[in-house]
């Protein structure tokens, strides 16, 4: 059998392959999925990819499978590690951080102002895949970004550097990095004027640099040769899918609950009323990643957040026994109940950390109401993807419970928001597919979400 497109998701623990047919027609089809453990430790991620393709053949009951083209996402070997360095935390630093997160990065260090010796030591210890430098509005402060660039160049790390700061510094950056081994990418300022964000150009360059320079895991070079187009960071692919859906359905948020992290993507302009009182601008598309909220690798963090006694009382199961023999994929009724409760805690906590809030300031003119952070009050759809929210029996109720948690100071979605589940678990694959085939990707997403036009 020959299919149009295979999309490989090379994750940190599992490699998944999704097959799509009739991509060039008005009725594209998702025809099957195969998976296999990612084989970083074996020294070649191709082993896992071929294992996933073999699993796909079994699920389709085929002896052979051919394809016209292959696309790929990757978070193997820790995904896209970045450090971000700017001038003022609430301005250029935050703008650069939003750009990196939206591109699918895992940020290991954020600094404001001139880099200290301890900051530089930490950069060496982290060994990031990419360093993002920002600082200063256009034609504003210049010295901090230049100082930081010189210090980073002295580290001789041979790491790609992206400069997205004051436009006046661009020639200086070229001079600083000309003689060292860092490939330099220069992009438009992420914060060109006070209260103005410009993060999309930087997001795109981050993904370009990721694909061009980063061989995340052994064997990835062979996969790059097999793949048509760029290898995209998996969280960035979920963001691309969310942005495409927003254009068709309206404002939305997407929860991606995994074994190690819980990501929340929001694509919404917010309400006019809140925008008028926002203290600082927010991006249209925002991603937060909660590295302590995974339901497998970080299971104990969630257990401690809830409390063992409370879990024991709520679930009426032997919590200690479950924790001692906790599997990557729950199978027994007790394990499923346990993971559903952890997932509930993960999504509630991720939402509380992501959402904006109202604040009250008191001055000579009396009380003034202001807003900080992302306004989700206009969100029409709440989407669930990732292993937990696509496979657990109680997934819809887990997300529906978010709408019942009301806090008058939080800018939360209303109770009218609709719950949609990525039933086929293909959202990341479709984010990659959306670049060459946006109409087919949107059609397939709606099929997986089971929503009509």
Each residue's pLDDT tens digit, 64-102: 999 999 999 887 656 688 999 999 998 899 899 998 888
Tokens found for residue 380: 């029409």
Averaged over 275-283, what is the pLDDT?
90
The total of other beta-carbon atoms located within 10 Å of residue 60's CB is: 15
The confidence band for 1, taking pLDDT boundaries of 50, 70 and 90, is: confident
What are the distances in angstroms from CA 373 to CA 109, 142, 272? 21, 28, 14
Beta-bridged to residue 256, according to DSSP, are 263, 385
Q: Cα dihedral angle (353, 430, 434, 207), rounded to 10 degrees?
A: 60
Handedness of CA 328, 329, 331, 335 (dihedral sign): positive
> What mean pLDDT is reported for the chain?
90
Averaged over 312-326, what is the pLDDT?
89
What does the DSSP 8-state code read for residue 297?
Answer: T
Predicted model pTM: 0.86
Tally of CA atoms within 13 A in the half-sphere of 368 that contains its CB: 11
Tokens found for residue 452: 């009509």
SS3 category, 222: helix
Question: Side by side, which strands form the sheet with 184-186?
Answer: 105-112, 80-86, 130-133, 161-163, 184-186
Q: Classify domain 2-77+220-229 by CATH architecture.
A: 2-Layer Sandwich (3.30)
Burial of residue 24, with CB atoms counted within 10 A of its CB: 0-12 exposed, 13-18 middle, 19 or more buried: exposed
For the stretch 8-21, pLDDT in tens is: 998 777 889 999 99
Q: Where are the alpha helices (DSSP H) in 308-394?
A: 308-315, 319-324, 333-354, 386-391
b/e map 403-417, b = 16+ CB within 10 Å: beeeeeebbbbeeeb
Range(s) of the chain covered by CATH 3.40.50.2300: 80-213
Range(s) of the chain covered by CATH 3.30.420.40: 2-77+220-229
Tokens found for residue 358: 């109202």
Among residues of the chain, what percentage have pLDDT more than 70?
A: 95
Query: What's the CATH class of domain 234-422?
Result: alpha beta
The yes-or-no verdict on residue 292 having pLDDT over 60 is yes
Question: What's the confidence (pLDDT) of residue 42?
Answer: 67
Measure the CA–CA gap between 335 and 313, rounded to whole angstroms: 15
Question: What's the confidence (pLDDT) of residue 362?
Answer: 86
Question: What's the confidence (pLDDT) of residue 214?
Answer: 58
Bridging pattern class, strands 29-37 and 262-267? unpaired
* Torsion angles phi and psi, residue 381, rounded to 5: -135, 140
What does the DSSP 8-state code read for residue 23?
Answer: T
Q: Which of 160-164, 366-370, 373-377 has the lowest mean pLDDT?
A: 366-370
Question: What's the confidence (pLDDT) of residue 317?
Answer: 87
Q: Which CATH superfamily is domain 80-213 in?
A: Response regulator (3.40.50.2300)
Return the closest-CA partner of residue 396 out of 237, 247, 255, 245. Answer: 255
Among residues of the chain, what percentage have pLDDT more than 90?
A: 64
Measure the CA–CA gap between 133 and 435, rounded to whole angstroms: 27
For the stretch 94-148, pLDDT in tens is: 899 998 888 878 899 999 999 999 999 999 999 998 999 999 999 999 999 999 9
Question: What's the confidence (pLDDT) of residue 259?
Answer: 84
For the stretch 405-438, pLDDT in tens is: 667 799 999 999 999 999 999 999 999 999 999 9
Question: What's the confidence (pLDDT) of residue 419?
Answer: 96
Averaged over 255-274, what is the pLDDT?
93
């Amino acid at each position: 059998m020959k299919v149009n497109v295979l999309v490989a998701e090379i994750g940190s623990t599992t490699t998944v392959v999704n097959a799509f047919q009739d991509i060039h027609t008005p009725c594209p089809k998702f025809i099957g999925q195969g998976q296999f453990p990612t084989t970083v430790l074996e020294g070649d991620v191709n082993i896992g990819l071929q294992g996933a393709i073999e699993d796909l053949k079994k699920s389709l009951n085929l002896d052979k499978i051919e394809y016209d083209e292959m696309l790929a996402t990757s978070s193997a070997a820790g995904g896209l590690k970045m450090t971000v360095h700017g001038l003022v935390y609430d301005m250029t630093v935050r703008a650069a951080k939003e750009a990196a997160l939206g591109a699918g990065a895992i940020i290991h260090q954020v600094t404001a102002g001139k880099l200290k010796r301890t900051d530089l030591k930490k950069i060496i210890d982290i060994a990031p895949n990419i360093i993002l430098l920002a600082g200063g509005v256009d034609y504003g402060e210049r010295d901090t970004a230049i100082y930081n660039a010189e210090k980073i160049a002295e580290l001789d790390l041979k790491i790609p550097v992206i400069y997205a700061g004051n436009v006046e510094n661009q020639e200086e950056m070229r001079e600083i990095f000309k003689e060292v081994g860092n490939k330099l990418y220069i992009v438009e300022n992420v914060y060109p004027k006070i209260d103005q964000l410009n993060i999309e150009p930087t997001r795109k360059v981050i993904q370009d640099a990721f694909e061009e320079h980063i061989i995340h895991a052994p064997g990835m070079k062979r996969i790059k040769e097999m793949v048509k187009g760029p290898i995209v960071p998996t969280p960035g692919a979920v963001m691309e899918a969310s942005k495409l859906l927003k254009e068709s359905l309206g404002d939305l948020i997407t929860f991606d609950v995994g074994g190690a992290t819980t990501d929340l993507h929001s694509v919404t302009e917010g309400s006019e009323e809140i925008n008028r009182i926002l203290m600082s601008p927010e991006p249209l598309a925002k991603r937060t990643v909660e590295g302590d909220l995974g339901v497998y690798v970080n299971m104990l963090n969630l257990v401690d957040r809830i409390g063992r006694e409370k879990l024991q009382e709520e679930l009426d199961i032997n919590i200690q026994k479950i924790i001692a023999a906790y599997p990557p994929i729950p199978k027994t009724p007790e394990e499923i109940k346990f993971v559903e409760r952890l997932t509930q805690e993960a999504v509630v906590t991720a939402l509380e950390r992501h959402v904006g809030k109202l604040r009250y300031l008191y001055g000579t003119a009396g009380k003034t109401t202001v807003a900080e952070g992302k306004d989700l009050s206009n969100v029409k759809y709440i989407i669930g993807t990732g292993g937990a929210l696509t496979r657990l029996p109680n997934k819809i109720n887990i997300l529906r419970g978010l709408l019942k948690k009301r806090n008058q100071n939080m800018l939360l979605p209303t109770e009218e928001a609709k719950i949609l589940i990525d039933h086929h678990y293909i959202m990341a694959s479709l984010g990659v597919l959306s670049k060459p085939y946006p109409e087919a990707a949107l059609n397939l997403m709606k099929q997986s979400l089971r929503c009509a036009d």
